Structure formats: structure tokens, C-alpha cells
Amino acid sequence: MRIVFLCNSFWPNIGGAELVCKDIVDTLSQKHDVTVITQPSVSRSNSKYNIIELTAVTSYSLMSGLRGELKTLSPDIIISFGYGKSFSDVSSRFAKRNKIPFVFMPCGDFHTNKTALSKRAYGLLIGRTCFRNATKIITATEWEKQHWIKKYNSPKEKFSVIPYNLPKDFTKYKKSTNFKFKNTKYFLYIGRTGPNKRLDLLVDAFTYFKFPDIDLVIAGKGTDAKHIKQYVGDNKNTHIVGQISEDEKKELIDNAHAVIFPSSYESFGMVLLEAAAFKTPYLMSNIPPFKELSPNNQYIFENNLLEIGSQMKRALNSPKFIDIIVPNFKHELNKVIESL
């Protein structure tokens, strides 16, 4: 079958969503002819994937020429990854008009400022489009499924809950010859920045509790922004790394004393899976997707300075690691595609 897969950003761009999208395309490409439609990337010249790059403008990701590309490709199935994006809305309408099965993977309800007026207006006026047009809706957690059913009154029978997996070879990476934190005991924050990530609370907790025997390493896209550096100030035990490569990310997780995830909302918990893959203990905020993935984790906190700091103190010596077991994503995804 000819499958078109649409997403806002794709490999080799780094991020949890990009990793999931790569895994989806790798899985489907084993049996089907898959074309990815996504934004351009400067490091994609030798990509092994069939990719059509369309420049997206505005946070809504408007892609000029998308309908024409879909018409030319004439797909048997369309899959779109991302709620609140023009390419999802456009492709879902195209699929409905042309009687093509449409699989929607919403992946959360805006990961930045979800209370912005423009985003609330989108939710009221356009947001239900993909859910109405979808043949199947795939969410990564039961919590996310219930969220969308409540928000748009979507039929339960449209949904399949399939938690994401990491690639089997995820723990393989090229170690650096001069790892900066080789002899350092450190807590790690790894990920993008944004209002939901609550990096400010983590920095406040680390500063307030004055940990003398452990450092804090902050890494990921946007973490080296000027306002974050100013917020951290001259604390010599806090290290801001900024954007890093995939290998650098893995090495940081692998060598961390523990990883801390103080998100106030997420649609899933890919970061938990990444920490668990290296058997690195992780501290996490008390949000439904995290609790669904790791219900037995003892290092769970409400998002405030005192609780984050208290759990960091508990984890100072020999923090307990809790593994995460999820169903086989590839097997379950193929079942959904074969049912269409």
C-alpha cells in the first residue's frame, strides 16, 4: 500500500516526537511504500527515506502546495501526527473527500502555551476536524484517549491506545573521548524548554536546597537561551549544555545519577522510556501520563519547589530504579493499519 505520513519535524531532527515518527515510518516501511511530508532539514541530503519537504509557516504549520502533493501521491492511507497543525486538518479533509482511510495521532493538546487565545479559538472552531474525519485515532496513553473523548465527544470505537516504544538499538551510542561530566555526580534535566517543562521550578529547588555533593546538568534545545542563563545565575554547580546530538543525549542519560522531569503536562513520557532504557533512576512530576507509564515510581512529586527538592534529597545516595514495560508498538501499529 501507498502510505503518506505527515509530521511537523522528522529525523534527523532531535526530539521525542521525531524519534516516535522515525519509528512509525521504519515500521510501516517494512511492508508498505511510505512517503513522509514534513518541514525541511539542513542535514537530510542523504536520507534513506522518501521525503517531500514543504516549508511550514506560523505555529499552525501552514504548508503551501500540500493538497497538490497529496493528489499526486494518490495514497491508500494517510497518517498525520500532530494536533493543532494545518497539515493534519488539510490531509484529514482530503482523505474524507477522496474516501481514503485517515489515521490521526494527535500527540497532545499543545505543548507550549495551551491557554493562548489563538489556541483556544482553534480548539473551538477547527480542533474537532481531524477527530471527525479520522477512521482511527491512535493515542499513546489511556489518559490521552479519555482527554480527547471528553473534549470532542469522539466515538470510543475510533481509538486505539498504543504506548510508544524506543528502537531496539536505542542504548547504542558513540561515546565521546572527552566526556565533560565523566567524574561528576549529577542530576540531569534533558529536553526542550517551554512553559510546561517547569525548568524554573527545578532550578529554584536545586538552588534553595543547596546540594553540596551533586551538580545539576541542564541540556536540550533552548536550554542555553539568555533568559535561562540569567535565571540560573552564577551557580557553579549548575551546568547549561544547550542543544546536543543524539549520542551526547544518550551519554548524559547513561552517566546521570538520576534524571528529573518536572513537566506540568505531557501527552506521553518518552523521556521516562529513555531514562529507563539506560536503567537510570528518574524523578517525575505527578501527571497522568507519567503515572500511567510508571505507577510504582517512588520518586514522584507535585510541581512545587519543596516537593521537587525533597525528592532530590531522597535520591542523593542510591536512588531506586523502576523499569517501564509497554506493549510492542510495532505489532500494535501494524494491526491498526491492516484493519483499515
Which DSSP string do the residues of 275-329 spell out, in sequence order? Answer: HHHTT--EEEES-HHHHHH-TT-S-EE-SSHHHHHHHHHHTSS-PPP-------H
Q: What is the pLDDT confidence band of residue 65, given thresholds at 50, 70 and 90?
A: very high
Is the pLDDT assigned to residue 208 strictly greater than 70?
A: yes
Tell me the whole-structure pTM to 2 decimals: 0.84
Distance of alpha carbon 118 from the chain centroid: 22
- Tell me the domain boundaries of the chain: 2-161, 186-314
**CATH architecture assigned to 2-161:** 3-Layer(aba) Sandwich (3.40)
Is the pLDDT assigned to residue 114 strictly greater than 70?
A: no
Output phi, psi for 136, to 5 deg. Answer: -140, 150
In the numeric block, which cell numbers belong to residue 219?
A: 541540556
What would the pLDDT profile of 245-295 be if each residue is shown by its tens digit?
989 999 999 999 999 999 998 888 889 999 999 999 999 999 999 999 999
Whether the domain at 2-161 and the domain at 186-314 fall into the same CATH topology? yes
pLDDT of residue 119: 76
What would the pLDDT profile of 138-147 be if each residue is shown by its tens digit?
999 999 999 9
> How far is residue 309 from each of residues 134, 237, 329, measured CA to CA in Å?
44, 15, 35
pLDDT of residue 242: 92
pLDDT of residue 294: 95
What would the pLDDT profile of 148-164 be if each residue is shown by its tens digit?
999 999 999 999 999 99
Overall CATH class of domain 186-314: alpha beta
Is the pLDDT assigned to residue 15 strictly greater than 80?
A: no
Give me the mean pLDDT over the 27-37 stretch: 97
The region of weakest confidence among 114-128, 200-214, 292-306 is 114-128
Residue % of the chain over a pLDDT of 70: 97
The region of weakest confidence among 58-72, 201-215, 221-235, 241-255 is 221-235
Query: How many Å apart are CA 202 and CA 216, to the nearest integer?
Result: 9
pLDDT of residue 115: 64
Give me the mean pLDDT over the 162-176 stretch: 91
pLDDT of residue 12: 86
Sheet holding 258-261, edge to edge: 238-242, 215-219, 186-190, 258-261, 282-285, 300-301
